[in-house]
Chain A
Amino acid sequence: QSVLTQPPSVSGAPGQRVTISCTGSSSNIGARYDVHWYRQFPGTAPKLLIYANNNRPSGVPDRFSGSKSGTSASLAITGLQADDEADYYCQSFDSSLSVWVFGGGTTLTV
């Protein structure tokens, strides 16, 4: 069981907007630690998608955005495209466990 909780799957039609939630606790997201998001296509390594809650690395389109509030965070994807289909993982740090923690991952179907 992951320290950060994500829905196992979400879906949306092309062009629509979807959000993926990431719920933690007072020892991780609810503390001062930022949330980061990674995207993983089948058979490939994860890749950084959003860092520090709402920042995009160069090359990531502005269709992807992140937010954080309290003990939760969200990843929003607008203008869904077929090639957005992938697994998405949130990540933070947990001060009680003293480890980096991930969500269980969310499979996006378009």
Chain B
Amino acid sequence: EVQLLESGGGLVQPGGSLRLSCAASGFSFSSYDMSWVRQAPGKGLEWVSGITRSDGYTYYAESVRGRCTISRDNSKYTLDLQMNRLRVDDTAIYYCVKHRPGRFRDYFDSWGQGTLVTVSS
């Protein structure tokens, strides 16, 4: 059974930093691209960042590009998101998601339970 367990969320002041982690199990981690998707309180879903399975190519939403860095350690089955210069509108639940290859683009077939990031003074 696929399991994705996020950690690292919390309360941080505007301009601060936070590192989110996701521990994966139950599948061959190195065989799948991974992403972070977030959900602001009472709002919809927003894809944030992704990383390819082996060469580690990274990609980001415009809203976080330059402030966030995604990384993975295939030997430890972990996915991280380093978030810097945090803003109030970064407040959200952050989900670790596993990609599933589609016909042309992937979709997200497994989601973690999420970790809450609150940016407030």
Contact = CB atoms under 8 A, between A and B. Distances in A.
Given A51-B109, A100-B47, A102-B44, A45 B103 contact: no
Among B44, B46, B114, find the residue whose CB has the most chain A CB atoms closer than 10 A: B44
A51 B100 contact: yes
Contacts of B111: 45-47
Interface residues of A, number: 27
B112 to A, nearest CB: 6
A60 to B, nearest CB: 12
Interface stretch (A19-27, A31-39, A74-82): A31-39
B95 A102 contact: no
Interface in A88-110: 89, 91-93, 97-105
A32 B35 CA distance: 22
A36 B108 CA distance: 9
Given A45-B95, A51-B102, A52-B102, A99 B108 contact: no
Interface string B85-121: 0000000000100001011111111111110000000
Given A102-B44, A102-B47, A93 B61 contact: no
A34 B45 contact: no
A102 B45 contact: yes
B57 interface: no
A82 B82 CA distance: 40
B104 A33 contact: yes
Among B47, B59, B62, B95, find the residue whose CB has the most chain A CB atoms closer than 10 A: B47
Contacts of A52: 102-103, 107
Closest CB pairs A-B (n = 7): A93-B105, A100-B47, A36-B107, A102-B45, A45-B111, A105-B44, A104-B44
Interface of B: 35, 44-47, 50, 59, 61-62, 95, 100, 102-114
Interface of A: 2, 32-34, 36, 38, 44-48, 51-52, 57, 89, 91-93, 97-105
